[in-house]
Amino acid sequence: MSRLLVFGGAGFVGERLACRALQSGWEVFAADINCQSSVEGIECYQVEITDRAGIERVIKRTTPTLVVNTAALADIDRAEQEKELAWRINVTGAENVAGSCASIGARHVFFSSDAVFDGEVGPYREEDLPNPVNEYGKTKAAAENAVLGCCPAAVVLRISLVLGFPIHTGNSFLVNLQEKFNARKVINCPKDEIRTPIDVHTLCDCLLELAGTPYQGLLHIGCTESIDRYSLTTRLARAMGFSTDTIHAQASDSRNRAPRHKRGILDVSKAQLVLNNKLPDLEKTIQRALSKEL
């Protein structure tokens, strides 16, 4: 039986991936700083991503065939303010997991971001050179190098914006948005920040398929269309049955937050060649993100 270990397994994407793998017949283990066994059949381990010895103990005990690292300090503004912490989690932590995988020969997948690019041009291919504009992007670019440096056979997945609802907990764009819609809060959305979203279900399906291939190196995963944040928010509001009256378009403002890359447009043509799971268009991505499927 294939054995999966997910670091960041208590988070939005991590727990979704763990459950998807369990449904597909994998033996599944989760590891996180505050990991509790909330899903029957998934064994949980509490470990800090910055603790190399702790990571090695978990990997030795579970003997996984696939290790996926979704753990990160992903709050861009917090990363800008707490640079040392962001570096420890996003870079040192990533290197800890990748190095431990290399030592036992486990297949490894690391989650990176379109924030490694400056967003001045796009669409970005895997071969394009990173040039991040904020600290979060810098940590992810450094982590990519660290992961592939100590585990050359690893896969580094770059994603832009994951849409969906968590099973229990985790930072979800849709949950935050829904809470604001329900409270009738004003939502100011940048019209000049473009992203290439993907629904969490397709993302998990693609990752589990990828684990069974010999592919290694960088790979971009997203839907086949890109959209600005304002237009995406209005489409999501309508799809969820909410009014768009509280959604206001604005230009990106970096005065009160970390700089953002503008054109987070990922070229996903390589993934479409590598994977049998076909990447959806934007409409299908929204439909699947809002679905109740596990």
Question: CB within 8 A of 125, min separation 6: which ones?
Answer: 220, 267, 269, 270
Token pair, residue 251, equals 């230009």
Average pLDDT on 277-282 reads 97
Contact 28, 81 (CB under 8 A): no
pLDDT for res 123: 97
Summarize pLDDT for 119-175 with one digit per residue, the tens.
999 899 999 999 999 999 999 999 999 999 999 999 999 999 999 999 987 789 999
d(CA 158, CA 95): 17
Detail the DSSP E strand segments found in the chain. 3-7, 27-32, 42-46, 66-69, 107-113, 155-159, 161-163, 187-190, 194-195, 197-199, 217-220, 227-228, 247-250
| Sequence ranges of the domains in the chain | 3-170+196-225+265-280
Please determine, for residue 1, whether its predicted confidence score (pLDDT) is greater than 70. no
pLDDT for res 174: 94
CATH architecture of 3-170+196-225+265-280: 3-Layer(aba) Sandwich (3.40)
Mean pLDDT of the chain: 95
Contact 118, 70 (CB under 8 A): no
Could you tell me the pTM of the whole model? 0.96
Neighbours of 253 (CB within 10 A): 10
SS3 state at 17: helix
Cis upstream peptide for 166 (omega within 30°): no
